[in-house]
């Protein structure tokens, strides 16, 4: 239940924090690279803990580039042009 009597704080820029903490955020997966190995997962988990410790009330799910097409691009070795040519 959301309480209307106070402001709620949302977490911050997860992708920026991943990059700042040394996780590869390059194409084709961008910040979803954190989901591909234990180191990235641990860093991601710590970022969420740090936001909670800093006072965030809400932690968001980061799903950018976690779709099947992005994963196929990763397996194929990188981003490729899409569309008309």
pLDDT in tens, the chain (85 residues): 666 778 889 999 999 999 999 999 988 788 888 988 999 999 999 999 999 999 999 999 877 777 787 777 777 876 554 444 3
Determine how many CB atoms are found less than 10 A away from the CB of residue 37: 12
Q: What angle do CA 44, 49, 32 make, to 5 degrees?
A: 15
Helix (H) / strand (E) element for 52: namely helix 38-53
Q: How far is CA 15 from the centre of its chain?
A: 5
């Amino acid at each position: 239940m959301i309480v209307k009597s106070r402001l709620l704080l949302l977490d911050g820029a997860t992708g920026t924090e991943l990059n700042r903490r040394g996780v590869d955020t390059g194409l084709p997966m961008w910040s979803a690279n954190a989901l591909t190995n234990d180191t990235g997962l641990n860093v991601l988990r710590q970022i969420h803990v740090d936001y909670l410790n800093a006072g965030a009330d809400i932690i968001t799910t980061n799903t950018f580039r976690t779709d099947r097409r992005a994963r196929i691009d990763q397996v194929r070795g990188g981003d490729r042009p899409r569309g008309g040519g």
